[in-house]
Structures are given as structure tokens and as C-alpha cells.
């Protein structure tokens, strides 16, 4: 009797899991028909409103997952695009977009991305009315949404009902991992990127089979056809089929791509229904965080800044830069940095850095230049005889460079950061013009808030999401 084939068994189980998940994710025919009628009604009513106010609207369309049926039912927002002539001034574009959106939507509120758009309700659905330009060449957009009609045409011409089902599976799989969505706060895979990947590899399992052996940075663009001006830390490169100069995956972080690569292998080896279950996070409280810090005998210092009046997609890149800057500063200053995290609420931004010890060594070794170069004189002049900070040196190290050991006056992490803040760049809108508006305190002096708890979870409860419930803090 032949031995069981683990790969064949895993493939059969994946068939069962994906068939079951696909049935649960598929919207009913009645719901699909309702979405279709809402799409048609939206376009009809906004065109009538445009005619009534003599608006220069060129075209209105519903695009995105609502138009292609690739949505997850509990995350369905309808995107209504209002496209105007390319020569329309931006101020008029904004005014016309908001006016036409307001004519068809109820319970409206203005939201902001590259320019204002309107979010509201229409026949029970959340709708974003987004203005843009009716350009003829998607490689020469005037606003970020101008490529959308071309994306719609490209995917609609290629996606079969079977591929639509695979896209839903892929979106739910990524959602379970917490890496679905291209918002700056998430840094994950956009819906458009997911659809292109499923189209390229034929199915969710085809995508995962390829992804399990990827090495970052992953290049899916044709040789010699990569988009220009790629950043050094790019994770995945896939040229937009309607605009080869654009990397569709520009929002994806290396951390989240690495999570996908690891999850791909884990799922293919051991597929279960849990991979497509609703994402959930085990409870994690401020008390849990403080207990865990006690277990680790570490120290968390917090910098609190006023939150600038920015949308998340503009704020969070600066928050991440500020977080890295503070961690690097403490590392350079002689602290053993264990990790960092950040959170934001409507009023404040919280930047957390965990260090192994609250106090740094009272002695700091300062690096000097190698013997024989011009800067030797400057170093000896600064750190030579007469400098009261010097405890030992200057002396020559084994590698031939100069060094000196100096006295550390401020040993606390908070004191080191307070002294450094006036010279640190935390981001265009986060760097405090008045250093007095920044608070630097140990965690125990920071009031509890959802944003602080969110940051503490990111700092102290790291775990691959498919390994089961995150371990509770021990209570020995």
C-alpha cells in the first residue's frame, strides 16, 4: 500500500476549504441585482443633476469592486466617479464634485484625499462621490483617480465569474492576515493589486504557490520594463497595465509582503477554514502591557505630539518616520532599543520606544577618525586634555581609529530624547515648532487611551496571525 502523499492530502483539503469559503463569501443573486440597480440609479440621478445645474460633467460611472462583483459583502462601499474636462480648474472641479455628490447622496460629509470628495448614503449603501478628470491617456493623469475608468475596462474585459470568486477568496485571505488595504495606515495590498495578481496567477492558490518562494524585493514587471524612480525599500514591483510608469504595489510594505510570503507556505502546507474566518484580535489591555513590560524588565518611553490637521494617508507616513527617528536616536545615544510603535487619536500622536533599560551607561564611547586623516586634529582638539567630560582617552583602538570614553550627564531615556528633540526632524507636519508642545514621559505617566493601547499591542503583542490566539501575559 503506497504511503500517503502529504502534498496531495493538503491539496484536497485546500479544495474543500476554498469551496466552503467561496460559498460563504459569494453574494446572493438578489444582492448582486440590488447592487446593479443602485449603480444604474446613481449614474442616472447624478447625470440628471448635472444637466439641471448645467454642470460640465463629462461622464459618471461606478467603478471598482462594486462594478465587478469582486467585493466582500461586509466591506462594500460604492465608488462613484465624476469625471470633468481636463481643462476645468481644480477649484471648479472640487465645487462641482461636491455639488453633484450632494444632489444625490444623503447624510453627507466631506472627506479628503488628494482633493475633497463626498461620502454619503444612497439606498442603504455607503457611497463615495469622487471628482476627477476625463483624460484620454491613463499614463498622463491629472489626479490620482483619472486612471480608474481604464482599470475598470482592463479588468472587466478579463475577469471571468471563476476569477471573481478567486478574487474574493484572496481578499478575505489577506484580510485575515491584516494586510488587505493600501491605506498608509495599513501599507497592505490594494483591491486593484489583488485583482491583478489573481488574474496573473489564475487563482488564489496559484498566487500563493508563487508567493511562497518570493524573495524581497519581488519583481513581477517584465525585464527592462520596471516603473522608474522606485524607492530603495520597495517591496513588490508590478507595473500598472494601463500606465507602465506606475508601480501598482507602491503602498505595500516589506513587512506585509513578508507576512504574505510566510502565510502562503503555511496555508499550502496546512489549509484550514480558519484562514478565511473573520479577523479577530484577542483582548489586550493596558494592564496586560504593563505586566508584560514587567516580565521583560524593559522600559517604554513615550513622546506625545499634537496631531496636525491631516488625513490618515498624509499623517501616517510622517508618524512612521518620527517613530523611526526617535528609536534611532536612542540607539545612537547608547540605549538598547527593543522596538517602537505609534498610535494617534483626534488630538494627539503617541510615539513609543521600548528600551532594555531606563538608564543608559554612565560611560559612552565616542568614535573618532582613523589615524592619518585631516579630521584627527579636530577630534583631538574637542576631546583632548581639558575636556571635563572625558573619562579615558583619547586612545587608538585595534582598528587604528581614535576613540574617547566620556561621562554621560543625562542617563534617563526621557532626558536624552528631550535634549535631542530640538534638532530632530520628525516629519514636515509633526516636527514641533515649539519644543514645549512635545511631552516626553515614561509610559506610567501617560493616561490610558485606545490609541495608546493600540500602540502597546503593536509593540508588545507581535505574533504571526495564523499561529492561533496570541499568548496571554503570564501571571506568575
Alpha carbon of 411 to those of 239, 355, 363, 383, 468: distances in Å? 50, 13, 10, 20, 40
pLDDT digits (tens, 9 = 90+) for 370-422: 988 888 999 999 998 889 899 999 999 999 999 999 999 899 999 999 999 99
Measured CA to CA, the distance from residue 190 to residue 119 in angstroms comes to 20
CATH fold, domain 286-359+411-460, is Alpha-Beta Plaits (3.30.70)
Q: If you count them, how many residues does the chain have?
A: 476
Q: What is the mean pLDDT of residues 438-448?
A: 95
3 state SS of 59: strand
3 state SS of 209: helix
Measured CA to CA, the distance from residue 350 to residue 205 in angstroms comes to 40
CB of 440 closer than 8 Å to CB of 417: yes
Q: Is the pLDDT of residue 473 over 90?
A: no
Q: Is the pLDDT of residue 122 over 60?
A: yes
Q: Could you state, in order of their start, the residue ranges of all structural domains in the chain? A: 29-144, 161-276, 286-359+411-460, 363-407
Measured CA to CA, the distance from residue 198 to residue 18 in angstroms comes to 15
Measured CA to CA, the distance from residue 427 to residue 322 in angstroms comes to 6
Q: What is the mean pLDDT of residues 108-113?
A: 87
Q: Which CATH architecture is the domain 161-276 placed in?
A: Orthogonal Bundle (1.10)
Q: Where are the alpha helices (DSSP H) in 146-274?
A: 148-156, 161-177, 191-201, 204-211, 254-269
Mode of pairing for the β-strands spanning 239-240 and 337-344: unpaired
pLDDT value at residue 2: 65
Q: pLDDT-based confidence at 113, cuts 50/70/90?
A: confident
Q: Which residue has the higher pLDDT, 435 or 7?
A: 7
pLDDT value at residue 348: 95
pLDDT value at residue 296: 96
pLDDT value at residue 474: 44
pLDDT value at residue 104: 97
pLDDT digits (tens, 9 = 90+) for 338-348: 999 999 999 99
Q: Which residue has the higher pLDDT, 1 or 449?
A: 449
Measured CA to CA, the distance from residue 71 to residue 164 in angstroms comes to 9
Question: How far is C-alpha 175 from the geometric centre of its chain's CA atoms?
Answer: 13
Q: Using H for helix, E for strand and C for coil, what is the string for 376-427?
A: HHHHHHHHCCCCCCEEEEEEECCCCEEEEEEECCCCEHHHHHHHHHHHCCCC
pLDDT digits (tens, 9 = 90+) for 295-311: 999 999 999 999 999 88
Element (H, E) at 450: helix 450-460
Element (H, E) at 13: helix 6-25
pTM: 0.90
Q: Using H for helix, E for strand and C for coil, what is the string for 178-194?
A: CCECCCCCCCCECHHHH
Mode of pairing for the β-strands spanning 299-306 and 239-240: unpaired
pLDDT value at residue 5: 82
**Average pLDDT along the chain:** 93
CB of 205 closer than 8 Å to CB of 269: no
pLDDT value at residue 471: 47
Q: pLDDT-based confidence at 468, cuts 50/70/90?
A: low
Radius of gyration of the chain (CA): 27
pLDDT value at residue 469: 56
pLDDT value at residue 472: 42
Q: Using H for helix, E for strand and C for coil, what is the string for 337-359?
A: EEEEEEEECCCEEEEEEEECCCE
3 state SS of 15: helix
Measured CA to CA, the distance from residue 253 to residue 389 in angstroms comes to 43
Measured CA to CA, the distance from residue 244 to residue 44 in angstroms comes to 33
pLDDT value at residue 470: 47
DSSP percent split of the chain into helix, strand, coil, nearest 5? 40, 20, 35
Measured CA to CA, the distance from residue 334 to residue 123 in angstroms comes to 60
pLDDT digits (tens, 9 = 90+) for 231-287: 999 999 999 999 999 999 999 999 999 999 999 999 999 999 999 998 877 789 999
pLDDT value at residue 147: 96
CA proximity to 438, closest of 360, 356, 348: 348
- Say which CATH superfamily domain 29-144 falls into: Beta Polymerase, domain 2 (3.30.460.10)
Measured CA to CA, the distance from residue 255 to residue 94 in angstroms comes to 36
Q: pLDDT-based confidence at 221, cuts 50/70/90?
A: confident
Amino acid at each position: 500500500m503506497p504511503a500517503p502523499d502529504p502534498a496531495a492530502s493538503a491539496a484536497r483539503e485546500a479544495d474543500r476549504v476554498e469551496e466552503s469559503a467561496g460559498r460563504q463569501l459569494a453574494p446572493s443573486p438578489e444582492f448582486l441585482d440590488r447592487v446593479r440597480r443602485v449603480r444604474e440609479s446613481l449614474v442616472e440621478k447624478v447625470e440628471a443633476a448635472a444637466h439641471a445645474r448645467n454642470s460640465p460633467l463629462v461622464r459618471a460611472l461606478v467603478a471598482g469592486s462594486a462594478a465587478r462583483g469582486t467585493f466582500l459583502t461586509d466591506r462594500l462601499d460604492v465608488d462613484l466617479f465624476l469625471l470633468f474636462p481636463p481643462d476645468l480648474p481644480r477649484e471648479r472641479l472640487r465645487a462641482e464634485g461636491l455639488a453633484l455628490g450632494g444632489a444625490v447622496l444623503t447624510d453627507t460629509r466631506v472627506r479628503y484625499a488628494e482633493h475633497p470628495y463626498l461620502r454619503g448614503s444612497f439606498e442603504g449603501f455607503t457611497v463615495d462621490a469622487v471628482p476627477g478628470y476625463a483624460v484620454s491617456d491613463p499614463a498622463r493623469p491629472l489626479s490620482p483617480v483619472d486612471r480608474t475608468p481604464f482599470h475598470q475596462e482592463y479588468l472587466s474585459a478579463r475577469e471571468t465569474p471563476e476569477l471573481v470568486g478567486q478574487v474574493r477568496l484572496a481578499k478575505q485571505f489577506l484580510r485575515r492576515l491584516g494586510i488587505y488595504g493600501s491605506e498608509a495606515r495599513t501599507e497592505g495590498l490594494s483591491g486593484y493589486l489583488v485583482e491583478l495578481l489573481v488574474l496573473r496567477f489564475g487563482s488564489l492558490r496559484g498566487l500563493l504557490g508563487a508567493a511562497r518562494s518570493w524573495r524581497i524585493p519581488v519583481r513581477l514587471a517584465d525585464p527592462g520594463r520596471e516603473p522608474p524612480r522606485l524607492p530603495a525599500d520597495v517591496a513588490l514591483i508590478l507595473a500598472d497595465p494601463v500606465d507602465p510608469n506606475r508601480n501598482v504595489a507602491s503602498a505595500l510594505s516589506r513587512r506585509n509582503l513578508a507576512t504574505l510570503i510566510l502565510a502562503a507556505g503555511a496555508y499550502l502546507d496546512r489549509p484550514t477554514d480558519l484562514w478565511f474566518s473573520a479577523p479577530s484580535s484577542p483582548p489586550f489591555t493596558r494592564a496586560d502591557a504593563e505586566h508584560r513590560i514587567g516580565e521583560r524588565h524593559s522600559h517604554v518611553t513615550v513622546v506625545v505630539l499634537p496631531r496636525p490637521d491631516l488625513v490618515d494617508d498624509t499623517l501616517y507616513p510622517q508618524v512612521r518616520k518620527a517613530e523611526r527617528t526617535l528609536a534611532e536616536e536612542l540607539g545612537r545615544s547608547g540605549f538598547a532599543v527593543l522596538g517602537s510603535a505609534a498610535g494617534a487619536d483626534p488630538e494627539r500622536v503617541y510615539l513609543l520606544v521600548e528600551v532594555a533599560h531606563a538608564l543608559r551607561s554612565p560611560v559612552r564611547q565616542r568614535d573618532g577618525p582613523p589615524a592619518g586623516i585631516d579630521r584627527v586634529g579636530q577630534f583631538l582638539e574637542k576631546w583632548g586634555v581639558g575636556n571635563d567630560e572625558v573619562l579615558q582617552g583619547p586612545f587608538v583602538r585595534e582598528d587604528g581609529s581614535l576613540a574617547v570614553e566620556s561621562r554621560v550627564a543625562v542617563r534617563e531615556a526621557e532626558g536624552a530624547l528631550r535634549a535631542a528633540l530640538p534638532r530632530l526632524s520628525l516629519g514636515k507636519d509633526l516636527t514641533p515648532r515649539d519644543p514645549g508642545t512635545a511631552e516626553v514621559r515614561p509610559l506610567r505617566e501617560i493616561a490610558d487611551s485606545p490609541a495608546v493601547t493600540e500602540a502597546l499591542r503593536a509593540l508588545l503583542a507581535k505574533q504571526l496571525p495564523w499561529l492561533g490566539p496570541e499568548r496571554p501575559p503570564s501571571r506568575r
